[in-house]
Structure 1
Amino acid sequence: MAHRITGYLEEEAIHSYTEFLKELDKGNIENVKAPAIAIDYWRLPADATLRDVVMVVRADEAHHRDVNHFASDIHYQGRELKDNPAPIGYH
């Protein structure tokens, strides 16, 4: 159940980041240069912007969503994660 709830929380995060991107695209939020810590952590180009950071963070949240829903599905089926790796290309 914890994996399913976490998957839904990640879905809400994706929605929030999508709304943030819309505000950036409308010009309501300034698309400033990405902070150095984000450039380093996400291995972004030196000229990355806030929009670039939000894009990679949103993609990461989508990955977390998928992994948690996958884990919940496996547990629901009465199987163990260690015995059921995600398919190639899944993550």
Structure 2
Amino acid sequence: MELQIPFAFFSLLHTVPFFSPKYPCIEFERSSAVCGSGETSLIYRQVTYREQMNTITSYIDGSGIYGSTEEEAHELRDLNTDQGLLRYQF
């Protein structure tokens, strides 16, 4: 039998001994929301969605632009000059 609680984030099997009807949910914490997200605007009559800030990896992954390896980085660069700028095409 599956136990479902409307406010629970996870459905839990009632047969799992650790969980009971008294404690049916798994506790977890969310990271902080991005400032200004998830607030209702009375002026514009809209609800903005809450966006999560990732505090564990809060850097921008530029591997799609700069490459993940040194070989990929060289392939993406214009090495005909000493500047090594990214290649581009119009």
**TM-score for both structures, normalised by structure 2:** 0.27
- Which structure features the higher share of helix residues? 1
- Which structure features the higher share of strand residues? 2
Higher relative contact order (CA 8 A, sep 6+): 1
**Greater C-alpha radius of gyration:** 2
**TM-score for both structures, normalised by structure 1:** 0.27
